[in-house]
Structure 1
Amino acid sequence: MLDLFRPFNARFRKIARLQHRDFFDGAVETWELAPAETLQYQSSFHLPGQVERIRASVFAPLPDTIEALTRAGLTHEGPTRAWRLENVDLIDGVLYHNGGEYHLHKRKHPLSLGRRPQSRASGVLYETWATNRWFGSWLMDACVAYDLAAGIGQPVTTMPRSMPGAHQAEYETLIGMAPIHLDGDIHFDELVMLDDLANNSHKGGRARALRNTLVRGREPEPVPGVFLLRGQAGDQRLLTNEQELAALLERERGFKVIDPLSVSVDELIDACAAAKAIVGVEGSHLVHGLTVAPEGAAIVPIQPPERVAATLKQQSDRLGQRFGLLVAEGSHDIFHLRSDELLATLDLFD
C-alpha cells in the first residue's frame, strides 16, 4: 500500500511546505563515472556592445549566463555520476522515490496521483526533462549519455518512438541506439540514473566520438559556412530579416542555406561536417550543425536580447569549436539583426 501513496506523499510535502526530500536519498549505490577537473575553454568572439544588449537569459541566471559566454581562463567542471535506486514509480511523466520527485515530462492528467503502475521494468535512464522537451538537448546530451547508459546496463527511455524518416529516428539508426522505449506508468524494481551535466573532458570525448560516428565514411565538401533556417518552427523566435541575412551570406560569403525541416539527417551531416561556420537563430536546429562541424569551426547563434542562452557555447567548448556571441535587437520572440553586424562578427573569426 505504501507504493500507492508515494505521489501523494511527495505532493503533500510541497503543499505543506515541509522539508524537501532529495529524490536520490536512499540510493542503494552511487558512484563516479568521471572525475571533476579544471579545464580551459576559449572565450567567445564578439563585437563591442554585444554583452550590453543582453537583458534576460534562459536556463540559468543572467550573471551566470554572461559569465559562461564571456569567461576566459580556467573553469571548474564537476564529475559525472550515477545512482542505483530501487522501487521507483513513474506516473504521468514524474518519477517518485523516497518522498521526492524527478520530472521527465509535463504532467498531462491532474488526477494522476491516484494511479498505480501496472508495468514493471529495470534499466538505465539516460534522459532528462530538458532532453525530452527540446530536440537540440536530446541530440547534444541524451545521445552522448546513451553510451554511458549502455556501459552500465540496458538503456531505457520514456521518449516515444519516432516515425520513420523523422530526425530523431534517423539519428538513432546512424548512432546505433537501441533503447527500450517505455510507455505509460512504470514501477522500476531497479533504476540507474545519470548526472551527466558537467562539461568535463569525459563528456567532451563522448561528444567527439559521436561526431566521428556520424561523419565516418562520408566525404563532405568544405564550405565557408552553413546558415540553418529556423523560420517559425518550434517556440516563436522570429528573426524578422532571417531570409535577407541568409541570402546575403549565400551571395557574398558562399554559404549554403538549408531549412533543416525539409532535408534528411544525411543531407544535414554532409552539408555541415566540413563547414567553416554554422550560423542561424539560436535553437535546437543549430545542434544539427554543431554536432558534426569540425574542430575550430565558428558557431554563431543569433540570439534575441531577452532570451540569451549559453547552452550552445558549452557544446562548442566540448567539441573544440569557436563561439561567436551575436545579440540582435528586439524582444524575446521578435527581433532584428543588422547585416553589417553579422558580417563584422564573422570577420572577427576570419
Structure 2
Amino acid sequence: MGTDISRPEHPPLARRHAWSLAAYRHMLRKRLTGQPAADLKSIADKRWDIAPGEITVSPPAIYLPGQMERVTGWEGQRFYPYVHPGPTMAGGLSIEQGPTRGYLIKNVWLIDGALYKGNASHWLTLKPQRFAPVLVENEIERGAIYCTQNGNSWFGTWLMEDCVTYALACDEGVPVTSAPSARYPLFTQAPPYEDWLGMNPLRLRTAFFHQLVLFDDVSHNRSRHQRYRAMGDKLLTHVEHAPHPGVFILRGHEGDLRLLRNELEVAEHMCVKWGFRVINPLRLDVPTIIAACAGARVVMGVEGSQLVHGVNVLQPGGTVFTLQPPNRFISYYKYMTDRDGQHFAFVVGTPDGDGFTIDINEVERTMDLLPKH
C-alpha cells in the first residue's frame, strides 16, 4: 500500500495497491451467523467528548387549532430525536441534547461505502455494492469521516448535517467522504456549496486507515449550533443582502413525492400579498439561490430538502414556515429552529389524490400569528 496522507492539503496520490477481502468476510459472516455486525464505534481504541451535552426546553410551534388532528402519518425514524410530532409541536419538552463525541479506531478498511475492522462495520451509504472491490488503492495515516448514510442519500441532510461535521473532521485528520457512485451520485449543487464553504475533502471508494476518527454529531447542542451558524455566515459573505419579507422555495415534483397541488397558487399569493420572493432552486445556480434567500424573515415551502437553501442563511428571530403533507409530517426543521433561536410555523394540508392541497386562508391566519419584526 502507499498514499500516506497526513495533512489537509491532500498531496498527490502515489498509488500502490493492496488486496482486502474484508467486505466479503463481513457478508459471509453475516450469512453464516445471521447476526448483525458490531458497530465500529463500539470497538474504538479511544473515545472522547468534543463538546458537552445540555438540557434544552422546546418552545411551541406556531399553528392554528386542529392542525395536528389532520396528521395521518409521520416520519421520525431517520431524524433525531425519534418522537411523534404532536408533543414536539406543543412545546415545553425538556430534551437531553447529548454531547458531540469522537471515536478513534486503528487499522480500518473503507470499501465501497462501508468501513470494516474484524467483526465490526459501519456503513456510510445505505446499500454498498453486492460485489465490492478487493483492490484497495489508498493508504491514509489519519483520516476523519464526516459523511453519513442520510447525508449521502438526501441533499438537505448533507448540507444541514454532514457539512457541519466537516469542521470537526478538519480538526482531527484528513477530512474524508465516500466517493460518488451510480447509486449515490454527487449532488448537483454540492460543488458550488463546497467552494463557498471552503470544503476540500478526499472522496474515496477504497482506503486503508492506520487511524480513523468517527463522530457522534446528531444532537442539537451548542457546538452544533455554533458550527451551523458559522457556515451560514460564511455563505452570506458572498452575497449582498438586506432584510426582506420572505422567500417561497418551490418543491414541485422533485425528490420524495410531496405533491402540493396548489403550490404555485400559494406561492403567487405570498408574492403578491406579502412581498415574498419565489424561487425554483432546480432552475437557478447556487449564488442566485443564496442571494434570493439572504435576508428573508420567513422561509416558506413544502417540507423538504429544498428549504435548506433558505434555512442556512435564516437569522435568529426568523421563521421557517412549512406546508406539511398530512401523511408524511416531519419535525426536523422544528429541531433546528429551536436550536438556532428561530420560530417554526406550519399548516397541514388535506389529501388530494396522490398529493395534498393547502388552504390559503389558513396560511394567512398563521402568518398573522408570527412575531412582528
Question: Does 1:4 pair with 2:4?
Answer: no
**Structure 1 contact 24–83 (Cα < 8 Å) conserved:** yes
Equivalent positions of 1:158-169 (< 5 A) are 158-160=178-180, 166-169=188-191
After superposition, the CA RMSD in angstroms is 2.8
Query: Quick check: 1:54–1:305 contact (8 Å CA) kept in 2?
Result: yes
1:64 CA displacement: 3.4
Q: Which of 44, 65, 69 pairs up with 1:48?
A: 65
Tell me the amino acid that sits aligned with residue 37 of structure 1: E
User: Does the residue aligned with 1:280 lie in a helix, a strand or coil?
Assistant: strand
Contact 2:37 2:121 in 1 (8 A): no
Match of 2:359 among 335, 338, 341: 338
**Does the Cα contact within 8 Å between 1:10 and 1:101 map onto a contact in 2?**
no
Which residue matches 1:313? 334
Q: Are 1:171 and 2:188 counterparts? A: no
Match for residue 102 of structure 2 among 82, 89, 93: 82
In the alignment, what sits opposite 1:60? 77
- Once the two structures are overlaid, the 10-residue window that deviates more, 95-104 or 243-252, is 95-104
Per-residue deviation at 1:73?
Answer: 4.7
Q: Of the candidates 137, 158, 181, which is equivalent to residue 203 of structure 2?
A: 181
1:102 aligns with 2:119: no
8 A Cα contact 1:79 1:200, kept in partner: yes
What's the CA shift for 1:159? 4.4
Amino acid at match of 2:155: F
Instruction: Quote the residue 1:156 is aligned against.
Output: 176
Q: Distance in 2 between matches of 1:4 and 1:211?
A: 42
Contact 2:62 2:344 in 1 (8 A): yes
Quick one: structure 1 residues 72 and 15, their matched pair in 2 at CA, closer, same or farther if it must change by over 3 Å?
farther
CA distance in 2, matches of 1:221, 1:83: 42
Report what 2:4 is aligned to: none
For residues 208-243 of structure 1, give each alpha carbon's deviation from its aligned partner in whole angstroms, at most 9, with x where no partner exists. 111111113643132211100011122222111100
Query: Residue 217 of structure 2 is aligned with which of 187, 196, 200?
Result: 196
Q: Which one has the bigger helix percentage?
A: 1
Q: Which one is further off, 2-11 or 250-259?
A: 2-11
SS of the counterpart of 2:220?
Answer: coil
Amino acid at match of 1:227: F
Greater shift after overlay, 72-81 or 249-258? Answer: 72-81
Any conservation in 2 of the 1:298–1:322 contact (CA below 8 Å)? yes
Residue 327 to residue 120, structure 1, CA distance change in 2 (3 Å): same
The two structures have a TM-score, normalised by structure 2, of 0.85
Partner of 1:219: 240
How far residue 11 of structure 1 moved from its aligned partner, in angstroms, is 5.5
For 2:75, what is the secondary structure of its paired residue? coil
Tell me the CA shift for residue 175 of structure 1. 1.0
Q: How many Å apart are 1:5 and its aligned residue?
A: 4.6
Gaps of at least 5 residues in structure 1 are none
Question: Residues 25, 166 of structure 1: CA spacing in aligned structure 2 closer, same or farther, 3 A cutoff?
Answer: closer
Structure 2 unmatched ranges of 5 or more: 1-17
The alpha-carbon deviation at position 259 of structure 1 amounts to 0.5
TM-score normalised by L of structure 1 = 0.90
CA contact (8 A) 1:164 1:170 kept: no
Match of 2:45 in 1: 28
- Select the residue among 280, 286, 290 that pairs with 1:259: 280
For 2:189, the aligned partner's letter is H
The Cα shift of 1:319 comes to 2.1
CA, structure 1 residues 22+239, in 2 after alignment: closer, same or farther (shift >3 Å)? Answer: same
Tell me which residue corresponds to 2:8: none
What secondary structure sits across from 2:312 in the alignment?
Answer: helix
Residues 85 and 332 from structure 1, CA distance in 2 versus in 1: closer, same or farther, beyond 3 angstroms? farther
Question: Matches of 2:164 and 2:186 in 1, distance apart?
Answer: 22
Correspondence 1:129 to 2:129:
no
